Amino acid sequence: MSEACDIAVIGGGPAGAATAIRAARSGAKVMVFEKGSHGRDKICGDGLTPRAVAALDELKIPLDDAHLVDGLRMIAGKRERELPWSGGDRFPAHGAVWPRRRLDAALIDAAVEAGADVRFDVEAEPVFADDGSVSGVRTGSDTIDAGLVVAATGAPGKVARMLGAERDPNEPYGLAIRSYVDSPRHADRHIEACLTVKDEHGTWVPGYGWMFPCGDGTVNIGVGALSTMKGFKSLNLNHLLESYRALVRDSWEIGPNLERPRAWRLPMSSIKRHGRGWVAIGDAAGLVNPMNGEGIDYGLESGMLAADLFLADPHTAPAEYDRLIGERFDAFLQTGRRFAFLIGHPRLMRTGLRFAVGTDAVAKITLQVMGNLVDADTPGAAGRTLRLADRVLAIADPALRATRARA
Ligand SMILES: Cc1cc2nc3c(=O)[nH]c(=O)nc-3n(C[C@H](O)[C@H](O)[C@H](O)COP(=O)(O)OP(=O)(O)OC[C@H]3O[C@@H](n4cnc5c(N)ncnc54)[C@H](O)[C@@H]3O)c2cc1C
């Protein structure tokens, strides 16, 4: 059987749904293939940065079902600093926590309402024409021709391998684990990040532990780590979560885990994110901030951009997409990856943390970074500081990478 559409999206997470909503609302014929069922969960911290809130606003997705938060509480050892999201022209002064089971359902429902043909429990893969371009998707024995195939498949797997869009093996990536707990502080208006987590041997871990209050009686508790630390391959995430849990047990008065802790990957690079007939968006394009592991906002933005460019000109869309994503994110993500190598060195990390949380001015910049509020267009102190930091990190980068194993 053969069908045809304008855009075939593989993956119905936030990135894929954003493409589908945007393109279908403009009248394009969109098909989405999601291997999970409707309402499937995604292992996540459920935190929405102000940047993500702005993207949801652009997509006209009401936040009624989400718990709004006013800022971030950063903890480093005994130091604690509570900072409000500042807001401004581009982003609102609030973020949110929205459990993924509900957020992703709201997004994919909006795609269906916009007219997209969403097929759940269907695994898809790209189909290649004789000239090497991607001409559509295959689902079992069915082939669907498409003007553009959008890989929105999350952390790289089979589809990424087929497209040559895997993560760069020389670049860092992350792993994170989460569960849910009951807490009387479930409606706290700040998300909390503890930047000083240690594994069961007392080794500093580049990453952070989080308490993200969901406002529904529960709190998302989790911890993430970067691959730049010594011994990363043998890091036991369950033990790491237990260590973090012990740290926050009293202050959050938490109960037992409400579900078995589950871990997943955080891709932070991609060898390729476009080709003839296809683009990769969201996690499939490695669009995760290495400094905080957040990627929902980038997924929504890249998803919308892919749709807009296809609607403007299907032929130039893939190359144009790659260029514009590069302009918007590449420099910042590169700084983040360099930073990941820096904090892979425990001594440098300790010094950095004293700076990050120690003074108001620096903490505010840290907040902007943690909120995904910085990119190529960021004016002011945060933008300038990040650009300066990148110049310094660029010089240190070869040494940091070379000394990684001995750290
Ligand atoms: C533990 C953890 C905590 C995190 N916390 C946060 C946070 O608090 N805030 C934040 O912004 N980010 C967070 N992230 C990152 C965030 O989860 C991702 O950036 C985000 O989910 C990316 O969205 P996506 O649509 O690109 O991919 P995904 O959400 O992974 O969606 C991909 C979809 O594609 C489907 N799929 C894959 N292959 C196929 C196929 N062949 N056919 C059909 N369907 C397919 C999958 O079933 C899945 O539904 C966290 C990540 C982890 C692991």
Q: Is the dihedral of CA 323, 309, 303, 63 positive or negative?
A: positive
Task: Please work out whether the CB of residue 106 comes within 6 Å of at least one atom of ligand 1.
Answer: no
Whether ligand 1 lies within 6 angstroms of the CB of 303 is answered as no
Ligand 1: nearest atom to the Cα of 282: 26
Pocket test for ligand 1, best of 296, 297, 370, 373 (most atoms within 8 A of CB): 296
CA of 302 to the centre of ligand 1 (A): 14
- Give the residue whose CA is nearest to atom 29 of ligand 1: 13
**Residue among 93, 21, 104 at smallest CA distance from 51:** 93
Is ligand 1 within 6 A of the CB of residue 283? Answer: yes
C-beta 293 within 6 A of ligand 1? yes
Distance, CA 11 to ligand 1 centroid (Å)?
9
User: Is any ligand 1 atom within 6 A of the Cβ of residue 152?
Assistant: yes
Q: Is the CB of 153 under 6 A from ligand 1?
A: yes
Atom of ligand 1 nearest to the CA of 224: 1
Q: Which atom of ligand 1 is nearest to the CA of 158?
A: 41
**Ligand 1: does its nearest atom lie under 6 Å from the Cβ of 30?**
no
CA of 270 to the centre of ligand 1 (A): 15
Alpha-carbon span 103 to 381, nearest angstrom: 33
Residues 6+ apart with CB under 8 A from 221: 178, 179, 180, 181, 209, 210, 211, 212, 241, 244, 245, 248, 254, 257
Per-residue pLDDT of the chain (407 residues; tens, 9 = 90+): 579 999 999 999 999 999 999 999 999 999 999 999 999 999 999 999 999 999 999 999 999 999 999 999 999 888 899 999 988 888 999 999 999 999 999 999 999 999 999 999 999 999 999 999 999 999 998 999 999 999 999 998 999 999 999 999 999 999 999 999 999 999 999 999 999 998 888 888 999 999 999 999 999 999 999 998 888 988 999 999 999 999 999 999 999 999 999 999 999 999 999 999 999 999 999 999 998 899 999 999 999 999 999 999 999 999 999 999 999 999 888 888 887 887 777 777 777 776 667 777 777 777 777 777 776 666 666 667 777 777 777 787 787 777 765 54
- Measured from the Cα of 11, ligand 1's closest atom is 34
